Chains A and B, each alone.
Chain A
Amino acid sequence: MIDCSSFYPSTSLADFHAQGHGWADTLVCRLQTAPLPSDAAGSHLWMIIALPLLGAFICGVFGKTLGRANTYLVACGSVAGSFLLSLIILWCVNDYRTVAPNTYGEAFHYAVGWDYGVWFSAGNFRVDFGLMADHLSTSMLLVITGIGFLIHLYSTEYMAHDDGYWRFFAYLNLFVAAMLTLVLGDSLVLLFVGWEGVGMCSYLLIGFWYEDPQKAFAGRKAFITNRIGDFGFLLASFLTVATLTAFIAQAPNDNFSSSRDAAGAASKFKQGLFTRGPLSFAALESFAQAMPSGTDPSRVTLESEIATGPLKGHTYGHILTAILLLFLLGAAGKSAQIPLYVWLPDAMAGPTPVSALIHAATMVTAGVYLFCRMSYLVVLSPFAMAVIAVIGGLTALFAALIAFSQEDMKKVLAYSTVSQLGFMFMAVGSGMFWAAFLHVVTHAFFKACLFLGAGSVMHGNADEGNIRKLGGLKREMKFTWLTFAIATCAITGVVPLSGFFSKDSILHGLHTNHLEQYPAVLHFVWFLGLATAACTAFYMTRLYVLAFEGERAKDARVPHAHESGPAIRLVLGLLAFGSVAAVAWGVPFMDHPSGHEAGVQAPMENYLWPVFNTARQINDRTAFVRSEGEHGLPWGAWGMAWGIALVGTALAFFLYRSFFPARGNKPVPALEPFRKLSFHKFYVDELYDLILIRPIKFISFIFYRVIDAVVIDTIGVRGTAWLTTRFGAMLRYAQSGDAQSYAAVMAVALVAGIVLALWGSM
């Protein structure tokens, strides 16, 4: 490590160099010294959101008049501007002296933030409009604006023939603004605004070609499925408010004894809660820090019963579990997990850049972001962690199995996304938040590359997306082939690429971590993860082989594919490079900063240390998650993971390169039932139709015919409407237009008042 402490007082590079440091050290120290004071950076965070919002406004209102080129410039330029600002924020939060103010407790280091004043308040409940960027938000910022910019760039070519380009770019910019609000918001409320905003943009973009009823329907499906999740989110938020309100009423100062000045910390927390409301993340963090486990008569613990309010009688632990499970419902909606994953594959109806940006790289990771953001709450409930891990594991395997037999390129990638998101949830469930986040970042690169590659393929093949009708693209689309192959290797887990390390750190975590109260769960999930890894290798290789290797299919839509233009190729190249380069985040080579854990860590873990430090401290206290530390690098686990990937890849190569072509592509009878099951997505849509939609339709039919039509419509609505309208009409007769009668009515009212007063004074 370089000692930069003498650099801080002076910011001149030459001075520092003159002190006897090398130029390399000088530069490193310069990069670790914020270019702006914390306040200056924090108070301008809003500009990151405002730029794409302004872009959306300009594109939406003036896009038609401005013309194509100007619209492209505005749309791309606004996101690029946000990207540059995000880089400055990254530079700022790298400095340990950067602090974000915290009304509820001690200031946050390695973060910038600003409270822009009250947003709305009603009595004691108050929400401030505050933004904050720590290492977690900043990485998301870079992913959203960086990959977002590339996808904007890609779209300029992809949407070159669409007349609705201005609408498209307005939505896309609006999406970026909403997503940035989601990650920058420092309270659940602002996060929810972004959450709803991205949902709305996703709906608008899936149904972008709304003339096609199928596509409009897919948009509605996504919207409604997400509404179910949002319901969970809202309930969870309400419960959070109730819990925190009960907590400040009940908790003695001892709860804050982990701080040096317990009474001061308690009063600061209570004061913050009173003046700034209970839904800020800082409030939740202070709350989690003050909430011990076990039984302790002098404090409020997870086992204590809530004494006041609507939740009276339940223990804090149970309520927290309920809150987390409701948040899981919300996250499952947004991040396409069981049981709400069904919308994501249908969402591929939208333009391909949309699939890449929203339904692979950014929006669908919002659920993972939510849990990472609230890692300190997650670690308080081992039951919720177990549920999250199991849901993630099942989703991952299930989606991977469905991906086996899909024939539409984008459908395969969509199920692959669901499966990879499952990996991230597994990591969250095992307490490996940094690994989940590492996978978010690497996945953003290679999945965006894959989707855009698929888009490039469709662009060059007259919108043909069926892999059975492609083939042999290796020769015809050389550049697309190259980037697609790199990204496939990355997601499969070939060693020097980013996907290997991110996926392996998750599997490694599942293997070494145990939930103290549910010892077998993570082991089970680990097996699911291993199986999924093998499946991933298989279906990705199948996709690659069928589309790019072999001969061109006879029933192809066009005889020869053409390679895409420079913008698409540039973006593909950059993303493929990113899929390789992101490995730098994942290779474990750094020392643990505090030295109390053995072994080495990946840069991502190191980088996110300040964010997840609270969760780690809480876990040290509660010991809900136990980690078997390993010394040195996990060569054995790596070997196994690589082996699994190789087996899957080899099997797919063998099957689709030699076995099936040799049999004339005839299906194998023994495997046919399985293929059918997988191809029909395990009949989940049909199952939902049977057990949910039809009964609901039936009940609603009954309601509609009997209760609605007869009772409510005829008697209730029409009756009430008739009655009120009649009554209104009757009152109208009094409105004769005769001023004298008006005065008479006033006089009568006065007499009535006098009578009232007489009666009142008797």
Chain B
Amino acid sequence: MTIPEFTMADFWPVIPAGILTAAAIVLMISEVFLGAAASRTYQSLLSVLACVLAGAVALMNMTDTPRAVLQGYAVMDPFSSFLTLVVCVGTGLAALLAAGFLQHRNAERGEFYALMLFAAAGMTLLGLSNEFITLFVNLEVLSVATYALTAWLRRGSRPSEGAFKYFILGAFAAALMLYGAALLYGATGTTHLTDMAAKLRAALAETDASGGHPKQMLIYAGFLLVGAGFAFKVAAVPFHMWTPDVYEGAPTPVTALMSAGVKAAAFVALVRVFMALGPAVDPQLPFIAFSVLALLTMVVGNLLALPQRNVKRMLAYSSIAHAGYLLLGVAALFAVGKDAKVGVLSSTPLVGISGSMQSDVYQGILFYLLGYTVTAIGAFGTIVALERREDETKGNAWDLDRFAGLGSRKPGWALAMTVFMLSLGGVPPTVGFIGKVLLFRAAVDAGLLGLSIVGMLASAAGVYYYLRVVVYMYMRPAPEGALVPERRWTTELALVATAAGTVLFGVLPGPITALLQRTDMLFHR
């Protein structure tokens, strides 16, 4: 029996997850000693501290050489390190938001933050998993934590209904993915992404007596099932239908975390899996699949958001639309070679994608993820600040009318919300604009002109429902007898931080893009 050697170099990438888990355990243990009435603000702050520490380690990891660690079950590369950073930013902000939200509902417990941090740990580990079983386990860590968080509140039927749907459908999607991974294992005899590509190629090349490729169907089926599992997690149309119900039912800070962190982690894992395995099959197939997904997701997400008066639901649909833009970037990764047969809605011949273009796409995707995380958490944060416990059971807690007259009642909040809406709509000078520019530019460079135009049109349609919120805030008088919402310093701190970030990264994207300008973003050999 040979015992593999582990050195400190193997453990650097998992240290952020370790910090998050340790903080979660401390929170759970400390909860035991607290009475029902004790002040629990420290829990939120401890979570933020853990996120800051983990984020700092991740930032340090960004500059390290990409390599496989822990016997090849995980990798350390800028792609996953940046995801860890994004997740830490998102979780820290969501934890800040949660303090006010939970105190208002008298539901603040250490387990809530612990679950949040566990979910965050799962996300960071998902980003660096390089082997199917590991990937699946980590996906389940974050899923189980978010299932439980969704059901946290005990008011009305919405939270439990949302959690139950999320759990059932999530389990369904996880089963699909596991089955797909099993099929791929069947075809190759390995679960390591790094080895799998070569073995897939060999398996595809096998011929039987009649000259056909016996394993081709098996492999394609495996790909499809794995893809379906990911599509569920990133909420791509038509695997999106759980999103509005779950997002609406979950406590708003959890919704913020789901729309930002879970999605980011799933995207990073998706890119990792398909960039490792995709080149082994006909690149045309993943290209078409992701193009179709992107097209449907961009268009349907925006269309569904249009008639929404419920702002929380509207943001849920908007998060679907944003997944669509990101999928456009993923599709651009597969626009390979001049001999590509068909480009969905592509009016220019595919120019093929060189190494530097690929790094442009990575840069676009990661920047977009960061920008969307900051902005979406800010937008949900405004909802956190506005919603009141009393409205929840009535079901109109998130109606557009809640925003009427906010511009005169709470100018600061209205300004912040305006910034978030502009950023989600992709209007300069916000981070959303820069993200869209980077992403769409990379897509156009890769030849996806038609799809990009559809994306821009769809996002132009999106500006309509984002600006509607702004119109309500500034141009509608506050309804009679509307109660002024309470102020919480933690919530306001989160709003200030997200609004400042949204504008700052929009005006000065340089440091981030410089951080992301590496050609070896993703480790795969």
Contact = CB atoms under 8 A, between A and B. Distances in A.
A754 B360 contact: no
A279 B239 CA distance: 46
A123 B173 CA distance: 37
A753 interface: yes
B196 interface: no
B510 A724 contact: no
A756 interface: yes
Q: Determine which residue in B213, B307, B434 has the highest number of CB atoms from chain A within 10 A of its CB, and name it.
A: B307
Given A724-B461, A729-B307, A761-B217, A117 B241 contact: no
Interface stretch (B53-61, B224-232, B258-266): B224-232
Contacts of A13: none
A742 B285 contact: no
Contacts of B289: 753, 756
Nearest to A750: B228
Contact of B241 (A118, A734, A754): A734
B313 to A, nearest CB: 10
Interface string B26-50: 0000000000000000000000000
A123 B172 contact: no
A182 to B, nearest CB: 17
Interface string B487-525: 000000000000000000000111101100100000000
B220 interface: yes
A186 to B, nearest CB: 15
A122 B444 CA distance: 13
Contact of B303 (A724, A739, A758): A724
B510 A121 contact: yes
A671 interface: no
Given A749-B228, A757-B221, A761-B220, A117 B514 contact: yes
B242 interface: yes
Interface string B200-236: 0000000000000100110011011101100010000
Nearest to B461: A724
Given A122-B438, A123-B445, A734-B241, A742 B165 contact: yes
Contacts of B511: 117-118
Contacts of B244: 735
B300 interface: yes
A739 B461 contact: no
Nearest to A127: B510
B145 interface: no
Given A118-B510, A118-B514, A739-B169, A761 B216 contact: yes
A742 B510 contact: no
Interface string A740-753: 01110110111001
A761 B168 CA distance: 33
A493 to B, nearest CB: 46
A729 B220 CA distance: 35
A264 B156 CA distance: 74
B437 interface: yes
B217 A724 contact: no
A728 to B, nearest CB: 4
Contacts of A121: 510, 513-514, 517
A741 B239 CA distance: 11
Contacts of A119: 508, 510
Contact of A727 (B168, B288, B303): B303
Contacts of B238: 745-746, 748-749
A731 B304 contact: yes
A128 B509 CA distance: 11
A127 to B, nearest CB: 8
Contact of A760 (B173, B213, B282, B513): B282
Contacts of A749: 228, 238-239
Interface in B304-329: 304-307
Contacts of A728: 303-307
A120 B225 contact: no
B510 A725 contact: no
Contacts of B227: 753
A119 B429 CA distance: 13
A750 B176 contact: yes
Contacts of A753: 224, 227-228, 289
B346 interface: no
B303 A122 contact: no
Nearest to B165: A739
B461 A732 contact: no
Contacts of B216: 761
Nearest to B364: A122
A123 B510 contact: no
6 contacts: A739-B242, A745-B241, A749-B238, A753-B228, A754-B220, A757-B220
The 5 tightest CB contacts between A and B, nearest first, are A118-B510, A742-B241, A757-B220, A728-B303, A728-B306
Given A735-B244, A761-B220, 16 more contacts: A118-B513, A118-B514, A119-B510, A129-B508, A724-B306, A728-B304, A731-B300, A737-B245, A739-B165, A739-B242, A742-B241, A742-B242, A743-B172, A754-B220, A757-B224, A758-B217
Interface of A: 117-123, 128-129, 721, 724-725, 727-729, 731-732, 734-735, 737, 739, 741-743, 745-746, 748-750, 753-754, 756-758, 760-761
